[in-house]
Amino acid sequence: MKIGELARATDTKVETIRYYEGAGLLAPPPRTGGNYRSYGSDELSRLSFIRRARDLGFSLDEVRELLTLADDRDQPCGAVDAVASSHLATIERKIADLAQMRDELARVIGSCRLGKVGDCKIIQTLEPMRGAARG
Amino acid sequence: MKIGELARATDTKVETIRYYEGAGLLAPPPRTGGNYRSYGSDELSRLSFIRRARDLGFSLDEVRELLTLADDRDQPCGAVDAVASSHLATIERKIADLAQMRDELARVIGSCRLGKVGDCKIIQTLEPMRGAARG
DNA sequence: CTTGACCCTATAGTTGCTAGAGGGTGCATA
DNA sequence: TATGCACCCTCTAGCAACTATAGGGTCAAG
């Protein structure tokens, strides 16, 4: 399998696959006579794994860790659970942060579409001291 | 006011202030005899504005746009509202994406803390074809 | 007159790719 | 045989938004 086929099969760009190789997530595959990378079904599985983990928001470092853990199939999977749980906590923190932004923005949007910038609630939210400091 | 004081007053790192200057968000301030940047209360207001906007998740491009709009205080503020609304939509999309990740992760976490990696639901979620392809 | 806190510029590193330059390979077709 | 085309190769630079480092200069206090 050439890199382009692997790319199509996993919905990944060719450059991204080479990048993953450089980043140590994929081992350098054997080459053809013309120096083309040649992949088998193991690499297809591994890249699919990586893509799914990335889709779930795991960082490349976390993916590396999960790949290492996944290869030790007889180990207890508490370590896997720990990586995933910590990632879940990160996601929940991000959601909370974004929800707060959303609420703040929603509160001021739409309240001054027809007014002037000088009275705009959005601008006032951003520069709360300007009125006080300038009179 | 020297850059360090401005940094403390706005909870911003010194390097970030210099970066904002290079990025065109803050004008180059006057210098002292010793070539130190010298800021006044206008810059404090402007940097506070930038920080608040950044806290709300606006990109530097959006901040630049908001700053330009905010300076035209007699203009109607429909354009401000448009920037904020589009940003709100982006935030809501991010929240939805993260919520989906959270749900998928939460579904598999905690179900196999005592099992082996070979049976781990988290790993299975990531490599759904391995079982089929390998027996 | 030296210590220490602060400031300066310029450059490289971070994450996770993506895009480009400048070239080689391999197959079909004229 | 030549030529075109899709595909592959390496290397390097670019993106956001900083952060950190190197290697210096300034200034007030002791």
The helices-and-strands tally (H runs, E runs) of chain B is 7, 0
> Which nt is closest to the CA of B15, judged by C1'?
D19
> Rounded to an integer, what distance in angstroms lies between the CA atom of residue B13 and that of residue B19?
10
Select from B80, B85, B122 the Cβ nearest to the Cβ of A81. Answer: B122
The reply to whether the CB atom of residue B61 sits less than 7 A from any atom in nucleic acid chain D is: yes
User: Residues 6 or more apart from B94 whose CB is under 8 A from it?
Assistant: A98
DSSP state of A59: -
Across the strands, what pairs with A76?
B116
- Reduced to 3 states (helix: H, G, I; strand: E, B; else coil), residue A51 is helix
| Mean model confidence pLDDT for chain B | 90
> Rounded to an integer, what distance in angstroms lies between the CA atom of residue A126 and that of residue B10?
13
Q: Which amino acid is at B75?
A: Q
B79 → chain A, closest CA residue: A113
Q: Which amino acid is at A3?
A: I
Distance A46 CA to C26 C1' (A): 28
pLDDT at A98: 95
- What does the radius of gyration of chain B's CA atoms come to, in whole angstroms? 24
Q: Are A104 and A97 in contact (CB under 8 A)?
A: no
Q: Which chain B residues are within 8 Å of A95, Cβ to Cβ?
A: 95, 98-99, 102
User: Residues 6 or more apart from A103 whose CB is under 8 A from it?
Assistant: none
Q: Which chain B residues are within 8 Å of A103, Cβ to Cβ?
A: none
> Rounded to an integer, what distance in angstroms lies between the CA atom of residue A32 and that of residue A38?
6
Concatenated DSSP letters of B43-86: HHHHHHHHHHHHHTT--HHHHHHHHHHHH-TTSBTHHHHHHHHH
> Rounded to an integer, what distance in angstroms lies between the CA atom of residue B50 and that of residue B65?
11
Q: What is the pLDDT of residues B65-89, one digit of tens each?
A: 999 999 888 888 888 999 999 999 9
DSSP state of A115: S
Q: What is the pLDDT of residues A16-43, one digit of tens each?
A: 999 999 999 999 999 999 999 999 999 9
- The nearest CA of chain B is from the CA of A135 a distance in Å of 13
Calculate the alpha carbon distances from A23 to A38, A112, B17 in Å: 18, 49, 33
Question: A109–B101: do the CB atoms touch at under 8 Å?
Answer: no
Residue A13 has pLDDT above 60, yes or no: yes
Closest CA to B126 of A70, A44, A114, A37: A70
Q: Provide the 10 A C-beta neighbour count for residue A110.
A: 13
Q: pLDDT per position in chain B (135 positions), as tens?
A: 999 999 999 999 999 999 999 999 999 999 999 999 999 999 999 999 999 999 999 999 999 999 999 988 888 888 899 999 999 999 999 999 999 999 999 988 877 777 788 888 888 888 866 444 432
The reply to whether the CB atom of residue B55 sits less than 7 A from any atom in nucleic acid chain D is: no
Q: Which chain A residues are within 8 Å of B108, Cβ to Cβ?
A: 84
> Rounded to an integer, what distance in angstroms lies between the CA atom of residue A62 and that of residue A54?
9
